[in-house]
Structures are given as structure tokens and as C-alpha cells.
Amino acid sequence: MSETRDPAAAAGPAAPETRPAGTDLEPPDGRRAGRRGPDTRAGRHRKEPHGLVAGLRELVPLVASALLLAILIKSLLVQAFFIPSASMEPTLVPGDRILVCRICKAFSDVHREDVIVFADPDPAPHEDRGVVGGFLHWLGEGIGVARPEDDDFIKRVIALEGDTWEIRRGRLFVNGTRVPEPYLAEERDRRDFGPETVPDGMLFVLGDNRAHSGDSRFPPPGGLGYVPEEKVIGKAFVIAWPPSRIGGID
């Protein structure tokens, strides 16, 4: 960003003013106006840094405001995530960058078939960083230079609290009704699971690539178990990168 300087300061100090003799505007040291004063070139060099300081004073608040805005957007509105694994293929593939609507959960409940990002339901104990260390780590997370303390996962919501789910030879049933799943990977998992009822405040989530997904079918550490609703970060709504895969997430 270019510096913003006062036009008068950029032009340098004004030339010394000559005053007629015999007036009441004599120089303060008693010398007459016509006598040559001290060389002002040194003063000109001393004033140069003021332009840089003024520029920094304007730049620092702008950078701080931009960082704060980025953190607020990431924390409250929309956050970008990277897909590292194949558990959601073919809907999402490794290398996809997706956008997740965080604010949506404040205005809309989670629905079946939503693709959601959530924090680890069974996290490891957190490191005690202290007040200052905790703040710096939070700031680093906000600007994307520090890893979150808990891992994040992405799965599809299959059943809500109170729903009874069952998988028979790879076919999904919720509350006794067969649920069509056009989003599944070609390689099917034909194992049976359930029936079970989702506990209060919990979600039952599965990966679209069932044969290669550790999800709510399995308890930790091999899977995730049921996911507390409070762990939901937001709903994935668009693939933002690479260009060949840009589009909505169904």
C-alpha cells in the first residue's frame, strides 16, 4: 500500500521569509532579517522519517482491522475447509476446498442429508497454554496459521435425535422407511447395523463412501459415535476449489 502524505510535508519546508528592516518581526535571537540564518538542509533530512512514521501509523490500523474482519468472518459467517480424505466420495474428493456456512446454524436447524462440518466429538485433553498463550493460539487459528485444538470432520446427517435407524445389507432405513441414497459411492458396504435410536441432543452421521468411512456406526477410536449437536460448526454448501469442481454440495 502506498504511503499517504500531507502535500505540504512532501514539498519540504518553505523557503525562509525575508522581512523588511525596522519592523517588529525581528528574528528571536536578535539577528537582523537580512543576515543569513542557519543552514536548513540538515533540518530537511531530519524531517524525512516523519513521512514513513505517518505511513506506518495509517498502515498498522488498516492491517489490524483487516485481520479482525477476517477472524470475525471465519468465526461467525463463512469458513473454508480442506478435504484430506476419501470418506465423502464421490460428493467430495481429496483436495477439494469447501465453504461452510457457520451462521446458518443460528437461523436453521440441522436436517437429514445436510453435509456438516463438526468438531471431534471425543477430543483429546487440551494443552494448558495459559491466558496469553491461549489468546495467541486463538488468534493464530483465526488467521489460519495454527491448527485447531480439536480435529474437524465432515459427514452427512442421516438421523436426528429420536430417530431410529437401521442398515440392512447396505440399505438405509430411518423410522422404518427405506431411504434412497443417490449420493453413495459405487463401492457399497453390505454389512448390517442397528437398529438404534439416536439419543437426545445427538446426530447420527455417515460418510458417502461407506466402505471407507469411520462414522457414527462405530464408537471411538475406530469411528465417531453419535455427534453432539453443539459440536456442529456449520453446513457445507459449496465447493470453491479446484475450478473444475466448483459447484453446490447436495
Span 165-171, mean pLDDT? 97
Provide the pLDDT for residue 39. 52
Catalytic residues: 87, 155
Query: Could you tell me which residue, 120 or 14, shows the higher pLDDT?
Result: 120
Query: Which range is least confidently modeled, 50-54, 95-99, 137-141?
Result: 137-141
Look at residue 36 in the predicted model and tell me its pLDDT: 52
pTM: 0.70
Q: How sure is the predictor about 56, in pLDDT bands with cuts at 50, 70 and 90? A: confident
Confidence of residue 54 (pLDDT cuts 50, 70, 90): confident
Choose which CATH entry (3.40.50.720, 2.10.109.10, 3.40.30.10, 3.40.718.10) describes domain 83-248. Answer: 2.10.109.10
Q: Are 220 and 249 in contact (CB under 8 A)?
A: no
Report the pLDDT averaged over residues 143-148: 60
Q: Flag whether pLDDT at 193 surpasses 80.
A: yes
Mean pLDDT of 123-148: 67
pLDDT at 196 over 50: yes
Tell which wins on pLDDT, 47 or 33: 47
pLDDT tens string 205-247: 999 999 999 999 999 999 999 999 999 999 999 999 999 999 9
Least reliable range by pLDDT among 1-5, 123-127, 222-226: 1-5
Between 5 and 63, the higher pLDDT residue:
63
Q: Locate the domains of the chain by residue range.
A: 7-75, 83-248
pLDDT value for 125: 77
Q: pLDDT at residue 27 above 60?
A: no
